[in-house]
Amino acid sequence: GAVTFGTAPTFPSGAITNAYIASQAAIDYTKVVGERCNEVEAFADGVSIITVASRTLHVTRGTSGTQIGLDAFHIVAPTSANCTTTIELQKTVAASSAWASVLSTPITLTTTSVVYTRYAATFASTGIAMLVGDCYRLVITQAGTTTGAGKGLHISHSYSEAPA
């Protein structure tokens, strides 16, 4: 049934779950904080991984957010022992051109990395805060010979963002 409150009610955390929200509730997007994941095929299946120019990945549009994860895998492992692929996530703030890593440990793929297995980066601190206008980019660096480089590279970037 319907309940009317004289003032806005306060409920304990977790008291209202998905089952209690009507499917026709039409909750505005500005009230939803959700996890998102960008999937990037940096190099297609069979294409040798090379060092590339940085690639813009995300610009924070909401008021705030949190970095959740950065994962990568290759499809064919490198064949040369000196071939290493490094995937870095960097950030700059609005109106700046100074980029800095948000990772304490980037992703490094080598001949010992198992294909089709996700490898995760380690963020510099738990829950890297995202603010409106923050811009994030991927930096992919390939060391060693291109003939022995791995082939195919897939990257996943997860974050949550408050839209307003």
Helix/strand number for the chain, H first, E second: 0, 12
Closest CA to 134 of 34, 68, 62: 62
Whole-angstrom distance, CA of residue 163 vs CA of residue 52: 31
pLDDT tens for 119-133 read 999 998 766 788 889
Q: What is the pTM of this model?
A: 0.80
pLDDT tens for 44-96 read 999 999 888 799 999 998 888 889 999 999 999 999 989 999 999 999 998 89
